[in-house]
Structure 1
């Protein structure tokens, strides 16, 4: 208890907490986009439940991994070497998660661009089963959680700060999940943009797994710029519709 009070009285701890919360929220955007796109393929009455389960699993995984911080640190230690390149468990998890994200995003793009391909009834949308959605969310939750906790460990040594940052970030994800999913579902061009983001994130995970560090600032700046352009397009389309309706 005394150590927590001392930590609360330390200004540097508050700076570390604020920085880590921002970082965790930013890292959570990737996870949330994937959850939103995936759950939108479920029947309407299951979507909110699946999002809450997915985000709840993300919280459980992150807090569980925080309880094994000493083990998580060892995930960055080399396990084997191929052609002079050492790979750790973290590298393999990032590569596997990146490949899964590439496969899933490409599959979603194909179904969006050519929804009739391979389906006898073109009028029936592709619907995902609840168990399959939760299973796929769990896979990506694990990848993003490990990346999130390793980032947190690199920024502070205080577990209470990590716990508060993780809970805050997941709470933000929970509050933003339904509005983001509705917005993505209502704007087909945003769906394609979000899938493009997932491909970029997947490539980034693979690159980092092979030891090529990609500054997160570049990735999120590109995403913010693309989102800004799309926001202008949405605004322009809305104004054209309003003029047509008024005319």
Structure 2
């Protein structure tokens, strides 16, 4: 109790908390895009429930990882060498998660471009299953969680601050999940843009797993620019439709 009171009175702790919350929310955007595309494959009556269960289980997983933070920190120690690159368990998880994202996003893009395609799509089948969606949400959240927690450990030694930041970020995800998913559902072109984002994120995870650090600012700047271009396209399309209706 005394340690918590000391943190509340420490300005540096508040700065670390604010920084971590922003970082967790930004990292959560990637996860939320993936969740939105996955759950939109379900029947409409099951989508919101799947989002809430998936994000809720993700919160439990992150809190559980925080409880083993000492073990997670050791994931950065090399365990194997591949093609001259020393890889840790963190690197292996990032590479596996990146490959998973690239493969799934590519399959889904193929499905959208070829409407006659009936092979596996982003959720493993033409018709998504509730359990399959939840499992894949947890798989990707594991990848993002380990990466964000290791980053958080480098920013603050206080687990209490990490817990508050994670809870705050997941709360934002819960509030934003339905509006984002509905927006993607109503704007089909956004789906392709979101899938392109997932390809970019997956490629970045693979690169970072092999030791090639890619500054997150470049990634999010590219995503923001693409989103801005698409916003202009949507504005122009809506203006044209209004003129045609007159």
TM-score range, shorter chain: over 0.9
Q: How far apart are 1:151 and its partner, in Å?
A: 1.3
- State the partner residue of 1:85: 85
Query: C-alpha offsets along residues 19-54 of structure 1, whole Å, 9 cap, x if unaligned?
Result: 110000000001000000010000111111111111
Q: Where do 5+ consecutive residues of structure 1 fail to align? A: 120-124
Question: Structure 2: how far apart are the matches of 1:118 and 1:174?
Answer: 32
Q: How far apart are 1:118 and its partner, in Å?
A: 3.7
- State the partner residue of 2:30: 30
TM-score normalised by L of structure 2: 0.95
- State the partner residue of 1:72: 72
Determine if the alignment matches structure 1 residue 217 to structure 2 residue 224: no
When structure 1 is superposed on structure 2, of 135-144 and 179-188 the one drifting more is 135-144
- State the partner residue of 1:141: 141
TM-score normalised by L of structure 1: 0.95
Question: Structure 2: how far apart are the matches of 1:99 and 1:232?
Answer: 32
- State the partner residue of 2:131: 131
Question: Structure 1: how far apart are the matches of 2:194 and 2:100?
Answer: 16
Q: Where do 5+ consecutive residues of structure 2 fail to align? A: 120-124
Contact 1:24 1:148 in 2 (8 A): yes
Alignment of 1:142-221 (within 5 A): 142-221=142-221
Query: C-alpha offsets along residues 164-194 of structure 1, whole Å, 9 cap, x if unaligned?
Result: 1000000000000000000001101100000
- State the partner residue of 1:122: none
Alignment of 1:10-21 (within 5 A): 10-21=10-21
Q: How far apart are 1:117 and its partner, in Å?
A: 2.1
- State the partner residue of 1:9: 9
- State the partner residue of 1:237: 237
Q: Which runs of 4+ in 1 moved over 4 A?
A: none
- State the partner residue of 1:49: 49
Paired positions, count: 241
Question: Structure 2: how far apart are the matches of 1:75 and 1:57?
Answer: 22
- State the partner residue of 1:94: 94
When structure 1 is superposed on structure 2, of 77-86 and 3-12 the one drifting more is 77-86
When structure 1 is superposed on structure 2, of 37-46 and 82-91 the one drifting more is 82-91
Q: How far apart are 1:59 and its partner, in Å?
A: 0.6
Q: How far apart are 1:126 and its partner, in Å?
A: 3.2
Question: Structure 2: how far apart are the matches of 1:15 and 1:82?
Answer: 39
Give the CA RMSD over aligned residues. Answer: 1.2
Question: Structure 1: how far apart are the matches of 2:208 and 2:224?
Answer: 21
Please give the secondary structure, in 1, of the residue aligned with 2:126. coil
Contact 1:57 1:141 in 2 (8 A): no
Q: How far apart are 1:154 and its partner, in Å?
A: 1.3
Please give the secondary structure, in 2, of the residue aligned with 1:75. helix
